[in-house]
Amino acid sequence: MWNKLEQYITDIRFNRWYRYFAIFCRITLAVAFAISGWVKISGERFAAGLSSNHPLGHYFDALLDTGFYYTFIGIGQVIVAILLLIPRTALLGAIASFPILINIFVLTYSLRFEGTRIVTFMLLANLFLLVWDFQRLKPILAFQQRNNELQTNPNYSSTHSFPYVFFTCVLLTLATVIGVNQIMYDIRPGNSPEECRNGCRDSATPKASKQFCDCIYNQGHNLRTCLEEFEKAKAIELGADSKSLPRPSSEK
C-alpha cells in the first residue's frame, strides 16, 4: 500500500493539472504571508477591524506591543512568501510555513475565530505542497530510497488528463471543513458585536447567548470566563424553559 501511495505521488508530478494546482497553492500562500508580514513590518495592528475586546483582538494587541519582535515576525513571513514564489526554493518555503500555519491553526480554533476555515484551507494547501515535493523530503525524513523506472527514467512523458477524482476530493474536503466549522461550536464571539448578537437569534438559549456577547464585547472578559458564564446561564435558561412546559396529566 505504501509503495502504491509513493508511486501515485511520483506520478502526479508529471500531470499538468496537479502542477497548476501546486502553483496555485504556492501563490495563494505567498500572497497571504506577504500581506500579513507587510502589515507587521509597517507597525500596524493585524486585523485592525477586529475589536480589542474580541479574544483574538486581545492577542493582536499584546503582539503589537512586543515592538521589534512583532516586526521580526513580519520579516519572517515576507521571507517565507518570497521562498514560496521562487520555484527552486518553494520546498524550503513550504517547510518554513508549515509550523507557522500549525500555530495559527491551533490559535484560531482555540479562540473560536471566524477565520478558522480560511486557516484550515491554507494548512491543507501547505500539506499538499509538502506531498508534492515528497521525493525531495525523503532523505530528510529518513525514508528508504528505492529506485524504480518512473523515478529514474528521464523520458517519462507528462500527462494532460484531468484528475476528476482528486479535485472532487478537494471540493468535498472544503465542504467538510465548512460544515464541521458550522456545528463544532455551540457559540462563537463572531468578528464584531453585531455578528455575535445576530448569532443569538437561532440559538436555543438566546438570553444566555446575548449575555455571552455582552461579556465579550462590553465587559471585555476573556473567552474562558465568558464561556463559563454562558454555560451557567444556558443551564438556568434551559431549566426555566423545561419548568414552563405543560406537564401531562396523571392517569387515575
- Looking at the structure, tell me whether residues 41 and 130 fall in a common domain: yes
In terms of Cβ atoms closer than 10 Å to its own Cβ (0-12, 13-18, 19+), residue 240 is exposed
| Enclosing domain of residue 227 | 193-242
C-alpha 210/C-alpha 213 separation (Å) is 5
pLDDT tens string 57-116: 889 999 999 999 999 999 999 999 999 999 999 999 999 999 999 999 999 999 999 889
Q: Domain check: are 49 and 173 in the same one?
A: yes
Q: How many structural domains is the chain composed of?
A: 2
Q: Three cell numbers at 229?
A: 458564564
pLDDT in tens, 110-166: 999 988 999 999 999 999 999 999 888 887 776 655 554 444 455 555 677 899 999
Radius of gyration of the chain (CA): 24
- Helix, strand or coil, per DSSP, at residue 212: helix
The grid cell for 74 is 513580519
Residue 148 lies in a domain: no
- Tell me the pTM: 0.84
Q: Is residue 30 part of a domain?
A: yes
User: Do both 14 and 121 map to the same domain?
Assistant: yes
